[in-house]
Amino acid sequence: MAVLKVKFTKTRRDKLAQILWILNWISVVTGVILFSLGLFLKVELKKREELMAEKDIQYVPNMLIAVGLIACVINFLGGKICYDCVDTTNFLRWKLIMLPYIVCTFFFTLCVLVGALMCYSMHWELEEALNLGLTQAMRFYKDTDMPGRCFLKHTVDMLQIQFQCCGNSGYKDWFQIQWISNRYLDMSKKEVVDRLRSNVEGKFLMDGVPFSCCNINSPRPCIQQQITNNSAHFNYEHQTEDQNLWMKGCREALLEYYTHLLQSIGLTVLITWLFELSVLTGVRYLQTSLENMLRQGDPNSESDGWLLENSLMETARTNLSIIKSLGKGNQIDTADNGDPNIDVPSTSKAHYGPDNVPPKQKTETN
């Protein structure tokens, strides 16, 4: 029994072909949108790649770019097919192509769905990449005179200013690393030397943060040094002065930015998938109704269109049996072609019988 069978008159078939022609061209535009979104996401990730660990997180934008390009090609071909199908006589040139086209488009729509789901599943990989990348960037913050790292101070400072954040998880992350280069430390001061000697690794650690952590909305001048020492500043309590520095960590700030971006792109891709699926459904109805019309032999007659000619289980069972028969055919071919001596006459001495006498051969008589 056919699944979702619908009866089509000639007028309905023609209108369906016209509507699908328009929808396929709209789908070409959606393909361009997918390509643009993938390119935009790729650029946004590329902007801050020095703040991320070397992880393969570019697969999502690459997937969107590829899907967008394929969507343009597939829907352009679909528009041409539907345009020709408005005239029933032109359907014959596409009759053998339409079913493979529908199958390929079905698998393509699955790829679009996978792309949408990938946008939502990228969160954890992105968080890990940011955690490792920001930790490494903060560690090299002081290396302003070292090639390959001299740009990181500017990068981290601009990040903290633009995203109003401080450190990886918070401003106290700066207490755990030496972010001031030794070339700017006054070794003539006993306090500096003692601080260096007191650390096992010989690092100059202090309860201070870079200037870019300062909250520009704070009513008092920014306190960057001796943050936890209340007696070092007048009318100061570091546990309540939450407006003096940015409290949010940069990993959280960047993760919120990229998560919002990925969710918006994922929603757009999901809507595109639903639209592509509806167009594919219409093309399937058009194909089956036109084929049934050809069987009847009357271009003006009514014809049935459906999604599946048989039930879902029966269709799956039929396809499975076809795949099994193809597999058995390959096994037989392999068995026949595997022995090079098959069907090759033997060149060794023949054993004709117990007396080694060849059988009598029949001779032709005139």
With respect to residue 316, please indicate whether it lies within any of the assigned structural domains. no
* 28 plus 81 within the same structural domain: yes
* 242 plus 260 within the same structural domain: no
Least confident of 86-90, 201-205, 206-210: 86-90
Q: Which of 291, 360, 354, 281 is nearest to 24 (CA)?
A: 281
Across the chain, mean pLDDT equals 83
Residue labelled with tokens 């006459």: 345
Q: Give me the amino acid identity at 164.
A: Q
* Band of residue 130 on the pLDDT scale cut at 50, 70, 90: very high
pLDDT of 364 = 47
pLDDT of 32 = 96
* 257 plus 242 within the same structural domain: no
* 197 plus 217 within the same structural domain: yes
The model's pLDDT over 73-103, given as tens digits with 9 standing for 90+, comes to 999 999 998 888 887 777 888 888 888 899 9
Q: Give the chain's end-to-end CA distance (angstroms, integer).
A: 68
**Total domains in the fold of the chain:** 2
Least confident of 71-75, 106-110, 173-177, 218-222: 218-222
* 175 plus 126 within the same structural domain: no
With respect to residue 274, please indicate whether it lies within any of the assigned structural domains. yes
C-alpha torsion angle, residues 351, 352, 358, 363 (rounded to 10): -120
Mean pLDDT: which of 23-32, 222-231, 232-241 is highest? Answer: 23-32
* 25 plus 91 within the same structural domain: yes
What proportion of the chain, given as a percentage, has pLDDT over 90? 41
pLDDT of 168 = 94
φ and ψ at 245, to 5 degrees?
-125, 160
Residue ranges making up the domain that contains 70: 3-137+252-311
Which of 191, 225, 247 represents a domain boundary (last residue)?
Answer: 247
With respect to residue 158, please indicate whether it lies within any of the assigned structural domains. no
pLDDT of 336 = 53
With respect to residue 71, please indicate whether it lies within any of the assigned structural domains. yes
* 13 plus 89 within the same structural domain: yes
The model's pLDDT over 317-332, given as tens digits with 9 standing for 90+, comes to 766 776 777 666 555 5
Which of 219, 247, 275 represents a domain boundary (last residue)?
Answer: 247
Which of 193, 212, 247 represents a domain boundary (last residue)?
Answer: 247
What proportion of the chain, given as a percentage, has pLDDT over 70? 84
Q: Are 273 and 112 in contact (CB under 8 A)?
A: yes
pTM beyond 0.85: no
Q: Which residues pair with 214 in a beta bridge?
A: 245
With respect to residue 94, please indicate whether it lies within any of the assigned structural domains. yes
Helices 59-85 and 10-47 cross at an angle (nearest 10°) of: 160
Calpha distance 97→79 (Å, rounded): 14
* 18 plus 62 within the same structural domain: yes
pLDDT of 182 = 82
pLDDT of 231 = 78
pLDDT of 348 = 46
With respect to residue 277, please indicate whether it lies within any of the assigned structural domains. yes
* Band of residue 308 on the pLDDT scale cut at 50, 70, 90: confident
The model's pLDDT over 15-68, given as tens digits with 9 standing for 90+, comes to 998 999 999 999 999 999 999 999 999 999 999 888 998 777 889 999 999 999
Calpha distance 184→143 (Å, rounded): 11
* 295 plus 234 within the same structural domain: no
* 225 plus 274 within the same structural domain: no
With respect to residue 335, please indicate whether it lies within any of the assigned structural domains. no
The model's pLDDT over 131-188, given as tens digits with 9 standing for 90+, comes to 999 999 999 998 888 887 888 999 999 999 999 999 999 999 999 999 988 888 878 8
With respect to residue 131, please indicate whether it lies within any of the assigned structural domains. yes
* Band of residue 270 on the pLDDT scale cut at 50, 70, 90: very high
* 54 plus 200 within the same structural domain: no
Q: Is the pLDDT of residue 217 over 90?
A: no
